[in-house]
Structure 1
C-alpha cells in the first residue's frame, strides 16, 4: 500500500510565512477474516473509504501499535515518478511482511541507514475508536514516510504490510489533504465451536442434557474494564451440517464465526428448575476460553465441567425445592388439613438441599402464620429434623452460628420463626431431603370455612442468583349457625349443651363466649359478651363442666371451631361430622325436646360461597307449643254442655215421630 508524490523532493516545503506545511496522518486498523486465499486490495487514496471490500471489519483486538518513520533519505531529488514507485515497491519487499523481517530491516536499514528506535509512536483513539492510530501535524510536506505495525496481538495470522507515502497527498479533486486517511489490514482466522449444557437429576447420579438456557458471549479486551458483548454468533440447539439427523441436540450451544482472542460465556437464564451455573458473572470469566490464531479453542475458566472425556461442558444444579404440608409424605396437600380449635397442628417442611450447597451464602426458612395460629416455640429444640428415610437428624447452634430466631407479630400475622442454615450445617445433606417438623395451635381467631394461611418461605442465594420458594399448608376448621323457632318465629330463652355423641361415653364441649370491646362517651373501654356466639375450647367427660349455650333475642346462636372431614365442597347434611345438641331449657311456654338434636359440620356448613357471595346457613331447631288442659267453667265446659243438649234434643224428636207413626186413624 503506497501513496507517492509525483515529484522527488529533498527539502520540506514551506508556506508563504516560511513555516513548513504539515499533515495529520490517521491509520485505520482493519481486520480480514481470511475466508479468501487472496483478499481484496484496499487502495489508499488519502481519504475516508466508505465502502470497504467484503470481509473487512474494524480491528477488534488490542495491544497493537504503529510507528511512523521519516525515510526521505531513501529517495533522491532526481527520481522520476516511475523510479519513485519502483523504489517504494523495492522498500516494501526489503522490509518484509512479518514482524521478524521488519525488525531486522529497521535494525540494519536500507543503504546503511538505521531506523530502529527513531520512529514516532502513533496515538490510539481509546475513547472513540480504538482501530484508529494518529500521528499529529508534524509530518512535513516534501518528505517520505513509512508506517509500520510494530506490535500486534498473538491472534493475528498476518500483520499489516508496510505503508509508504509522500507528502503532500492530494484528494481526487486535486486539493492538498491536511489529514491523510490510510488503511492497514491484519488477517485473522474465524472458527466455530460448540459446548453442551448438562444438568443433574433428582435422586440420580446420571446427568441429562438441558435445553432452554440462555447465554451472552463476550470477547475480552485486554487492558480494559469490560468486554465486547456477543462478538460472534451464538446459537442454542444448533446442528452441524454433518450431524446425524437422529442426534439428540438438547443442551447444545454453538458459537460461530469466532475470531482469534479470549472469550467467555455468561449464563443469563437457566432451564426451568435449575439454578444458573457458575458462569454467571462477566467479571470473573469462569466460562472463559481462547481461540488461537490457528483456530484452536481451549477452555480456560474454572466453571467448565469435565464430562464424557471433554471439558467443554456447562453444568447446572437443581434449585432448592420446598413443600410444606401436614404430613411427612411429600405432597402439596393432604386430607388431614381440617382441625378443631385448640388442636396442635403438625407442619412439615420438606427441603431439597442442592448438591452444590457449598456455594450458597443464604439458606433460610421463615414461617409467618396468620392470627388464627399460635407458634409457642422459643428455640431450636422445639423442632424435629429428619432425613428422607425418616431417621432423626440434628443441628447444633453456637454463639457464632445461631440457627433459630423469632419473627415478631405484625398487624396481619402472628408471631413466627426463622431458621438460618449455613452451608456447613447442610453439607452432609447435599443433594438430599431434610424435613423440618413442628406444631402450631389453632386458636380462637381462626377463620371458619376459610384457609387459615400459614405460609413458610425458603429463601436462598447461591452467590450469583437468589430465590424465594413459598409453600402453604392452610388448616381449616368448621362451625354451624342455629336458630330456635316455633316453625316460623325465633324463640329466645332456650339453652343447650354440645356433645360429640349420644348415650354412654359422650364428651361434652367447653366453649368460650365471644366478647367485644365497648367504648363509652368518655372513651372508657369495657368488655361485653356477644350473645349467642361461642368458640370451641375442648371436650370434657363431666357433663357438669359443659358450657351452657344460650340463644340470643332472636333464638339464634353459633358454634365455631369444630372439625369436619375434608375441604370437599358438598353443601349437604348427608355428609359431614355429626355433633349433638341437648336442650337443657326450653323457651317459655314450650316443652324441652326429649331427644338430642343431631347436626353435621362440613365445609360450608357455617358459611359458603354462592355466586361469589358469602351465604350464611342456619340450622333450624323447631319447638311446638305445650299441650294445655281445659279451664273449669271455661270454654271447655260450655262446649261439653252444648254437645249434651244436642244429643238429648235429638232423642226426644225421634220418640215423638215414632209415636205418631204408630198411631192409625
Structure 2
C-alpha cells in the first residue's frame, strides 16, 4: 500500500495564526470572506479595498482532504497606475494538489468458453468530473488488447467513468463513481457497480472491471406435425452455432447451461425431449440484442420421421422469460391414404410381383415335367 503523506494544512494554518496574533497591532482586518458566501466557490470578491495602501490576502482555512497545503500569502500595493473604480484587480493564489494517474483493466468470461477469463478489447469510456461540470464528457481511449486504459493527470475532485460502447456478447456496466483527494488517493463510491474493484498496485490505482456476458434461454416442445397437442418424448438434438455445415460448431453444456463451443461433434451435448415433449437451451451468450442458433435433430421420436432440416431459434434478453415455447414438429411414418392413387400404385406393383412369381413357378414346373 502507498504510504499516506502527512497533511501540512493544519500545521500551516496554526503557524499562520501564531504570526497573526503576534502582529495584531500592525494589521487591520478589513474583510473575512468564505467560499460559502459566493455563487462561484473559487472566486472571492473584496469590495472594501480602496485604491491606496498595502494589503495582505491570507487563506485562513483549507480542506486538508482537498489540498496539500494552503496558498502562499499574497501582498500587493495600491494605487495601480490607470486603475479606477470601474476596474478590478485580479489575484491568483494557488494551492498545491497531487494528480492521480489510475488505470482501468476490463475483463470477463470468454463467450466461446465461459470457464475462461479473458481481457476485453475495444470498450470505450468517457470521463466526467462531476464537481466541475457534470454535463461535460471527456473522451478517453478504448481498452487495448490487454483490456487496459490509462487515465492520467486527475486533479482532486469527484469523477464518473461512463462506458459508452460495450464489446460484443457483453452487457454495458453502470457508471463508476470515485473521488480523488489532494494526495492523489482514490476512493471508490460505496455504490459501485457489481464487478468493479479498486486496487492499489505499488502506488498505482487500478480499476478492475468485469463485464458480464449477455445470456439467454429458450424453451421448446416436441410435438406431432398434425396435432400439436400430442407431445413427443425421446427426440434428441445438438445445438449448432450456424447453419453452415462446413464450419459447424456444436454447443457443450454443463449442469444444464452453455459451457463452450466445439468443432468436434463427438463432444457435443445431446439434448433430449422429456415426457411432455419439453426441453430447453439455457445460458447461451448472444451478440448485441439477439443471436440465432440451430437445433439439429439426431434422433426422432419412435414412429416419426427424422427431421433433416436445421431448426432456427433466437436467443435474446426476453427469450425464455415468458410462457411461450417454440414447437418443434415431426411427422409420422405413414402409408399413402386408402383409396388414393398411391394405394392403387402399391396394389398394382404388388400384383405384378405376384404374377411374375406365379409365371416363373409355372415355367419351372413345366420344364421339370418335360424332363
Q: Compute the TM-score of the two structures, normalised by the length of structure 2.
A: 0.52
Mark the CA change 1:305 to 1:454 in structure 2 (over 3 Å): closer, same or farther. closer
Mark the CA change 1:456 to 1:158 in structure 2 (over 3 Å): closer, same or farther. closer
1:139 aligns with 2:49: yes
Residue equivalent to 1:319: 214
| 1:33-60: CA deviation from partner (whole Å, max 9, x where unpaired) | xxxxxxxxxxxxxxxxxxxxxxxxxxxx
Residue equivalent to 1:234: 140
Mark the CA change 1:215 to 1:580 in structure 2 (over 3 Å): closer, same or farther. same
1:120 aligns with 2:120: no
Residue equivalent to 1:580: 342
Quick one: distance in 1 between partners of 2:219 and 2:70?
65
| 1:600-619: CA deviation from partner (whole Å, max 9, x where unpaired) | xxxxxxxxxxxxxxxxxxxx
Residue equivalent to 1:218: 128
- In the alignment, is the contact (CA less than 8 A) between 2:216 and 2:283 conserved in 1? no
Quick one: distance in 1 between partners of 2:67 and 2:220?
63
Quick one: distance in 1 between partners of 2:166 and 2:38?
36
1:268 aligns with 2:268: no
Residue equivalent to 1:99: 13
Quick one: distance in 1 between partners of 2:213 and 2:32?
58
| 1:232-280: CA deviation from partner (whole Å, max 9, x where unpaired) | x733336xxxxxxxxxx42112101212333332223321111122xx1
Residue equivalent to 1:163: 74
Residue equivalent to 1:179: 88
Mark the CA change 1:237 to 1:318 in structure 2 (over 3 Å): closer, same or farther. closer
What's the offset of the Cα at 1:193?
2.1
Match of 2:197 among 298, 305, 310: 305
Match of 2:146 among 237, 247, 250: 250
Mark the CA change 1:193 to 1:177 in structure 2 (over 3 Å): closer, same or farther. same
Aligned length: 263
Mark the CA change 1:581 to 1:230 in structure 2 (over 3 Å): closer, same or farther. same
SS at match of 2:19: helix
- In the alignment, is the contact (CA less than 8 A) between 1:125 and 1:132 conserved in 2? no
What's the offset of the Cα at 1:315?
0.9
| 1:124-169: CA deviation from partner (whole Å, max 9, x where unpaired) | 7966x55422233x33344543322233343323433222334444
Mark the CA change 1:206 to 1:298 in structure 2 (over 3 Å): closer, same or farther. farther
Quick one: distance in 2 between partners of 1:477 and 1:176?
95
SS at match of 1:134: coil
- Point out the structure with max Rg over C-alpha: 1
Mark the CA change 1:344 to 1:165 in structure 2 (over 3 Å): closer, same or farther. same
More strand as a share of residues:
1
Residue equivalent to 2:318: 459
Residue equivalent to 1:198: 107
**Unmatched 5+ stretches in structure 2:** 1-10, 238-254, 258-268, 275-281, 286-311, 350-371
Quick one: distance in 2 between partners of 1:126 and 1:346?
76
* Structure ranking higher on relative contact order (CA contacts 8 Å, 6+ apart): 2
Residue equivalent to 2:277: none
**Unmatched 5+ stretches in structure 1:** 1-96, 239-248, 282-286, 328-335, 351-385, 394-429, 434-452, 461-467, 479-498, 509-542, 547-578, 584-593, 597-665
What's the offset of the Cα at 1:179?
2.8
Quick one: distance in 2 between partners of 1:144 and 1:256?
42
Mark the CA change 1:343 to 1:291 in structure 2 (over 3 Å): closer, same or farther. closer
Q: Compute the TM-score of the two structures, normalised by the length of structure 1.
A: 0.32
- In the alignment, is the contact (CA less than 8 A) between 2:216 and 2:284 conserved in 1? no
* Pairwise CA RMSD: 5.2
1:291 aligns with 2:176: no
Mark the CA change 1:101 to 1:230 in structure 2 (over 3 Å): closer, same or farther. farther
What's the offset of the Cα at 1:500?
5.2
- In the alignment, is the contact (CA less than 8 A) between 2:12 and 2:70 conserved in 1? yes
